[in-house]
Amino acid sequence: MRRLREIDRWMLAVALGLNGMGLLGIWASRAGPFLIRGQVLRIFLSLGAFFLFSMFNYRKLINLSPWLYAGLLAVLLPLAFRGGVSSWLKLGTFWFQPSEAGKFIIPLFLVWFLRRKYQFPVSFKNFVISGAIVFLPMGLVALQPDLGTAFVYLAFPLALYMVFGIKKWMRRLIAISAIVVAVVGWFYFLEDYQKKRITSFLHPSSDPKGSAYQVYQAKISIGSGGLKGKGLREMTQAKLRFLPAAHTDFIFAVVGESFGFLGVLVVLLLYAMLFFRIFSSVEYLAEEEAVLLVLLLGGWLAFQTVFNLLIAVGLFPVTGFPLPFLSYGGSNLLASYISLGIINSTLAWRWE
């Protein structure tokens, strides 16, 4: 019980507030009572995972991370070469996306590898190995194909190199590698529909009824909400099925149409409070590995949130991933709450 008293109640309260806004958005999008009940069940299950990981010593998780990482690769490898869209596994009556588990396993393994090897700026050896730790599962996820989750994995090296710093020639190497990967990916790996998403982002008016349709409708949804919104009963874009993936990837647009600028402002303030609580918690941590773990876990949550919002307003190509704590779905919600649980574990066990 002493561990429970160390939990950041404000952090949990803000996450639950986002869940509540998400449920309203799911209901407004005419997702149906069955999906709403399912999402409520997912929230309770995820909360259970949050409390479980909050009370579990994060140091033991770091020690277990090599086995967890090996298990992650063992699951992702057959999925990558199964053929078709194969990013999901069925566990009884539940469908689970294993790549979501990478969002908390990879940070744990990175901390395990880097413990007592802290160098500023990062050494070439640590630069290469830490990059390989991220890009190996990232490549397997991209082959499924799940480019959205693979893209979110970029948050880990970005956060890592922001913390440690990297030399100029390493930055040049990253830039050159990114250009090579982009060119090779464009000509040999990206499907036509994925290329159209990128070209429609660069020229949004070229195909408003095709590849740019989702973003076009999302902008209409957000813009039509005005100051106070149309209300849950009067909104049209999601209810009349004009906006695809309204209760998942584009839930922010539903909030904008239903609750207007004021609702959007509430959501943005909740996210600002959540990330303030996460990143300010490092002030109470004495161990470097705990600080790094919090920054990596908070980093992917912030990264995915920011880019989902940018996609919704047409400032980034559509890649397809949910808005943490707000969107419908269980795998990402579970990964988000487990990450919050591990962050709270660093607070609960900081004195031992």
Measured distance CA(284)–CA(278) in Å, rounded: 11
* Location of structure tokens 């009067």: 234
Q: Is the pLDDT of residue 11 over 80?
A: yes
| pLDDT band, residue 199 (cuts 50/70/90) | low
Q: Which residue has the higher pLDDT, 317 or 325?
A: 325
- Residue 90 above 60 pLDDT? yes
For 240, residues 6+ apart whose C-beta sits below 8 A from its C-beta are: none
Report the pLDDT value the prediction gives residue 161, as an integer from 0 to 100. 84
Q: What is the DSSP string of 103-169?
A: HHHHHHHHHHHHTT---SSPPHHHHHHHHHHHHHHHHHHHTTT-HHHHHHTTHHHHHHHHHH---HH
Q: How far apart are CA 336 and CA 352, in angstroms?
A: 25
Query: What is the rounded CA–CA span in Å between residue 49 and residue 334?
Result: 7
Cα–Cα distance, 25 to 312 (Å, whole number)? 14
pLDDT-derived band at 197, boundaries 50, 70, 90: low
pLDDT of residue 315: 81
CB neighbours (10 Å) of residue 226?
Answer: 12
Mean pLDDT of 276-291: 91
In 3D space, the residue among 168, 159, 165, 68 whose CA is nearest the CA of residue 118 turns out to be 165
Q: Where are the alpha helices (DSSP H) in the chain?
A: 2-5, 9-28, 33-55, 58-80, 98-114, 124-142, 147-152, 155-164, 168-188, 192-202, 213-224, 251-280, 288-312, 331-348
Widest pairwise Cα distance in the chain: 59
pLDDT score for 275: 96
Q: Look at residue 163 in the predicted model and tell me its pLDDT.
A: 81
What value does the mean pLDDT take over residues 279-295? Answer: 91
Would you say 228 and 260 are in contact if contact means Cβ atoms under 8 Å apart? yes
pLDDT in the model for residue 230: 74
Per-residue pLDDT band at 64 (split at 50, 70, 90): very high
Residue numbers of the domain that contains 226:
2-348
Residue type at position 2: R
Q: Determine the Cα–Cα distance for residues 167 and 121; give it in Å rounded to an integer.
A: 7
Which residues contact residue 244 at a Cβ distance below 8 angstroms, ignoring those fewer than 6 apart? 213, 214, 217, 250
Examine the pLDDT at 250 and tell me if it is beyond 70. yes
Q: Quick one: pLDDT band at residue 209, thresholds 50, 70, 90?
A: low
Could you give the angle at the alpha carbon of 287 between the alpha carbons of 286 and 291, nearest 5°? Answer: 95
Q: What is the model's pLDDT at position 30? A: 66
- What are 89's strand-pairing partners? 96
Give the mean model confidence (pLDDT) for residues 71-84.
Answer: 84
pLDDT the model gives residue 140: 92
pLDDT band at residue 329 using 50, 70 and 90 as cut-offs: confident
What pLDDT sits at residue 81? 80
Span 240-266, mean pLDDT? Answer: 81
Angle at the Cα of 106 from the Cα atoms of 104 and 112, rounded to 5 degrees:
105
Query: Domain count of the chain?
Result: 1
> pLDDT at residue 210 above 60?
no
pLDDT band at residue 92 using 50, 70 and 90 as cut-offs: low
pLDDT band at 20 (very low <50, low <70, confident <90, very high): very high
CA distances for 104 relative to 206, 296, 298, 334, angstroms:
39, 9, 10, 10
Residue 241 has pLDDT above 80, yes or no: no
For residue 238, name the pLDDT band (cuts at 50, 70, 90): low
**What would you report as the CA-atom Rg of the chain, rounded to the nearest whole angstrom?**
20
Which residue carries 């990964």 as its tokens? 335
Q: What is the pLDDT of residue 166?
A: 77
* Residue that the structure tokens 């790094």 belong to: 292
| 47 band by pLDDT with thresholds 50, 70 and 90 | very high
Does the pLDDT of residue 291 top 60, yes or no? yes
Which of 36-50, 76-90, 158-172, 212-226 is least confident?
212-226
Distance CA 318, CA 249 (A): 9
